[in-house]
Amino acid sequence: MEVRLHNTLGREIQVFNPINKSEVGLYCCGPTVYNYAHIGNLRTYVFEDLLRRSLEYAGYSVNHVMNVTDVGHLTGDEDDGEDKMEKSARETGKTPEEVAAFYTEAFFTDIDRLNIVRPKTACVATKHIGEMIALIKKLEERGFTYTSGGNVYFDASKFERYGEMALLDRQKLRNGARIEIDTNKKNPRDFVLWFTKSKFENHIMQWDSPWGKGYPGWHIECSAMSIKYLGDQFDIHCGGIDHIPVHHTNEIAQSEAASGKKWVNYWVHGEFLLMDKQKMAKSAGNFLTLQTLIDKGYEALDYRFFCLGGHYRSQLVFNFDSLDAARNARLSLNQRVSELKSEAEPVAAGNLTGRALEIMDKFSKDILNDLNAPKALASMWALLKDQDIAASEKLGAVLEMDRVLGLQLDKVESDSPELTKEEMALINQREAARASKDWAKADEARDKLLSMGIIVKDTANGSQWKKRL
RNA sequence: GGCGCCGUACCCAAGUGGUAAGGGAGAGGUCUGCAAAACCUCGAUGCAGCGGUUCGAAUCCGCUCGGCGCCUCCA
């Protein structure tokens, strides 16, 4: 099946053609583990998971690599010049290593709860300092660097296509609009590859290098690690839209300057989650974590479902009314799947026929056309609500869809639970009360069953029951 | 100041030239002892506003209004 993706290089939807027909190289920018991920960050990982699952759905094997940044970089707008990792460490009384370990674990807990498939390789920055130094040396040998004020800089003027993806040439950049200008730079677009002159005192995390003891610049780790695990040319690199102008621009410059080749063929970027019409950001203090949602009684998958309701390239407005809508919709979805499971065995995806096959094909076409999850979900509802499709076909199709959607429909229990003796006794008591028209007693039994998680419904064929999902 | 983008029903949200997907909430109905669930029906003659192009525009162009992001912390 053909996959189409919006490529930031060229700003258009393109047919995806991998370098290697069987395996796709996919690099996703990962977390900086100095704090919890917020749900805006997690939206991007849900999008990347949708991308990975879609590629696998289309028949590709995906070599998925993600970095874990445990080297701190500069803090926020009210920058006091401190390293994020070390700031967090100081505030919590831990070492940077302990901080990294704690938030790395928290991050993977979150993505597991969201049913995001873990990357095949999660590479840690501090374990790849050697590769970073080697890459900087290569850039130095090829004449793309200079040293100033003790730091090694990338000379952007030496790389002709600098800023091409971000369309920087069309912009009249306002230098230092938001940050302090580094007077060591020859050109505002230059960036640090290796620091030896720390702006901050007593920097804990430092390594020996040919340029002196110090630590790497922000961008070099992604280039060094992606090249190590995926080669100096690979298929897809993704991340948040905010990375286009700086981080990814600089990554492209240093990677292509080092190899002399085009580095990445497709750049795919996810849009922001908005909170009260503003971007959700740690620095703005308006962020929510997944755990906060769970503490409020939502499930992680409710948030995943919410994310799938919007297209990854559109800003998505978060509020609790919308999250409630997602939760209710998912509850209804699970109920339907549960009922289908009690009625029939799923038809294998390859054996779908008729209307179910038609809907399945539309679903595939939409999801593989730049990951249009909202359209795909509409197909899913069309399938489930169709009166003429057999339960076995519906179940087979919806489970196939869930390979991409990742809503754990395979784990939904069949809607014919075994009851305990006590529960069964209550059912029988209620039936007896109903037979003698003792409605108060019957309702009491129903309420008690409900409190035990059993929903009773009366049909023409007698009472039926199901577990509350 | 420059650049990128958005404005679709009560809410969220698809739709980039052919006559408005889907979800949630809501209303009415069937069924029921009552519920619940399920199912049926209803819901924008309209896509921020005003012009223009076109046989035809939410979709293209212009202007106006409103909003978001970026311009080296950022998903």
CATH number at A24 reads 3.40.50.620
Provide the CB-side half-sphere exposure for A302 (13 A, CA): 24
**A16-40 tens-digit pLDDT:** 999 999 899 999 999 999 889 999 9
Examine residue A308 and state whether it is found in any structural domain, yes or no.
no
Minimum mean pLDDT range among A103-112, A179-188, A297-306, A388-397: A179-188
The reply to whether the CB atom of residue A317 sits less than 7 A from any atom in nucleic acid chain B is: yes
The sign of the CA dihedral A391, A395, A398, A400 is negative
Q: Which of residues 386-405 of A touch strand B (CB under 7 A)?
A: 387
Asked which of A253, A270, A287 is the last residue of a domain, the reply is A270
How many whole angstroms separate alpha carbon A11 and alpha carbon A389? 40
A296 backbone dihedrals φ, ψ, rounded to 5°: -85, 0
The reply to whether the CB atom of residue A316 sits less than 7 A from any atom in nucleic acid chain B is: yes
Examine residue A133 and state whether it is found in any structural domain, yes or no.
yes
Write the DSSP string, A347-412.
PPGGG--HHHHHHHHHHHHHHHBT--HHHHHHHHHHHHH-SSS-HHHHHHHHHHHHHHH---GGGS
Nucleotides of B under 7 A from a protein CB: 1-6, 11-15, 21-25, 31-40, 67-75
How many whole angstroms separate alpha carbon A326 and alpha carbon A305? 6
Q: Are residues A183 and A266 in the same domain?
A: yes
CA A173 to C1' B71 (Å) is: 5
How many whole angstroms separate alpha carbon A388 and alpha carbon A259? 58
The per-residue pLDDT for A84 is: 78
Split at pLDDT 50, 70, 90, the class of A174 is low
CA A374 to C1' B38 (Å) is: 25
The per-residue pLDDT for A177 is: 58
Q: Are residues A65 and A117 in the same domain?
A: yes
The sign of the CA dihedral A307, A62, A219, A67 is positive
Asked which of A270, A288, A311 is the last residue of a domain, the reply is A270
The reply to whether the CB atom of residue A254 sits less than 7 A from any atom in nucleic acid chain B is: no
Examine residue A305 and state whether it is found in any structural domain, yes or no.
no
The reply to whether the CB atom of residue A328 sits less than 7 A from any atom in nucleic acid chain B is: yes
The per-residue pLDDT for A280 is: 74
Q: Which two tokens stand for residue A425?
A: 């006794």
Q: Are residues A372 and A456 in the same domain?
A: no
CA A189 to C1' B38 (Å) is: 62
The reply to whether the CB atom of residue A173 sits less than 7 A from any atom in nucleic acid chain B is: yes
CA A395 to C1' B42 (Å) is: 30
Closest nucleotide to the alpha carbon of A172, via C1': B2
How many whole angstroms separate alpha carbon A135 and alpha carbon A158? 16
> Which residue's C-alpha is at the least distance from the C1' of B22?
A378
The per-residue pLDDT for A283 is: 61
Q: Are residues A425 and A400 in the same domain?
A: no
CA A381 to C1' B39 (Å) is: 15
Q: Which of residues 115-144 of A touch strand B (CB under 7 A)?
A: none
Examine residue A211 and state whether it is found in any structural domain, yes or no.
yes
Q: Is the distance from CB of A273 to CB of A316 less than 8 angstroms? A: yes
Question: Is residue A201 pLDDT above 60, yes or no?
Answer: no
ipTM: 0.93
DSSP 8-state symbol, A158:
G
Position A327, amino acid? R
How many whole angstroms separate alpha carbon A428 and alpha carbon A51? 50
Minimum mean pLDDT range among A26-30, A129-133, A172-176, A358-362: A172-176
Q: Are residues A81 and A212 in the same domain?
A: yes
Q: Is the distance from CB of A125 to CB of A133 less than 8 angstroms? A: no
Question: Is residue A79 pLDDT above 60, yes or no?
Answer: no
How many whole angstroms separate alpha carbon A356 and alpha carbon A339? 18
CA A356 to C1' B19 (Å) is: 28
Asked which of A372, A391, A411 is the last residue of a domain, the reply is A411
Q: Write out the residue range of the structural domain in which residue A56 sits.
A: 4-270
**Domain count for chain A:** 3
Question: Is residue A429 pLDDT above 70, yes or no?
Answer: yes
Q: What is the mean pLDDT of residues A64-70?
A: 94
Q: List own/partner pairs for A196-203 with CB under 8 A and 24 or more apart.
A: A196/A150, A196/A151, A196/A152, A197/A149, A197/A150, A197/A151, A199/A81, A200/A81, A200/A82, A200/A83, A200/A86, A203/A83, A203/A86
Choose among A161, A141, A144, A162: nearest CA to A153: A144
Examine residue A26 and state whether it is found in any structural domain, yes or no.
yes
Choose among A265, A252, A274, A249: nearest CA to A38: A274
The per-residue pLDDT for A78 is: 36
The per-residue pLDDT for A154 is: 94
Question: Is residue A311 pLDDT above 90, yes or no?
Answer: yes
DSSP 8-state symbol, A76:
-
The reply to whether the CB atom of residue A277 sits less than 7 A from any atom in nucleic acid chain B is: yes
CA A274 to C1' B72 (Å) is: 23
Q: Are residues A387 and A459 in the same domain?
A: no
The per-residue pLDDT for A73 is: 62
Q: Are residues A382 and A348 in the same domain?
A: yes
Closest nucleotide to the alpha carbon of A366, via C1': B14
How many whole angstroms separate alpha carbon A256 and alpha carbon A226? 13
The DSSP bridge partners found for residue A318 are A275
CA A387 to C1' B44 (Å) is: 27
Minimum mean pLDDT range among A115-119, A213-217, A255-259: A213-217
DSSP three-state, residue A161: coil
CATH number at A404 reads 1.20.120.1910
Examine residue A313 and state whether it is found in any structural domain, yes or no.
no
Q: Which two tokens stand for residue A23?
A: 């395996």
Examine residue A142 and state whether it is found in any structural domain, yes or no.
yes
DSSP three-state, residue A49: helix
Q: Are residues A207 and A61 in the same domain?
A: yes
Q: Which residues contact A114 (CB under 8 A, 6 or more apart)?
A: A42, A45, A46, A49, A290, A300, A301, A303, A304
Q: Are residues A183 and A328 in the same domain?
A: no
Examine residue A284 and state whether it is found in any structural domain, yes or no.
no
CA A14 to C1' B56 (Å) is: 29
Q: Are residues A73 and A174 in the same domain?
A: yes
Q: Are residues A259 and A339 in the same domain?
A: no
The reply to whether the CB atom of residue A276 sits less than 7 A from any atom in nucleic acid chain B is: no
Q: Are residues A404 and A432 in the same domain?
A: no
CA A338 to C1' B34 (Å) is: 26
Q: What is the mean pLDDT of chain A?
A: 88
Q: Which of residues 49-88 of A touch strand B (CB under 7 A)?
A: 73-77, 79, 84
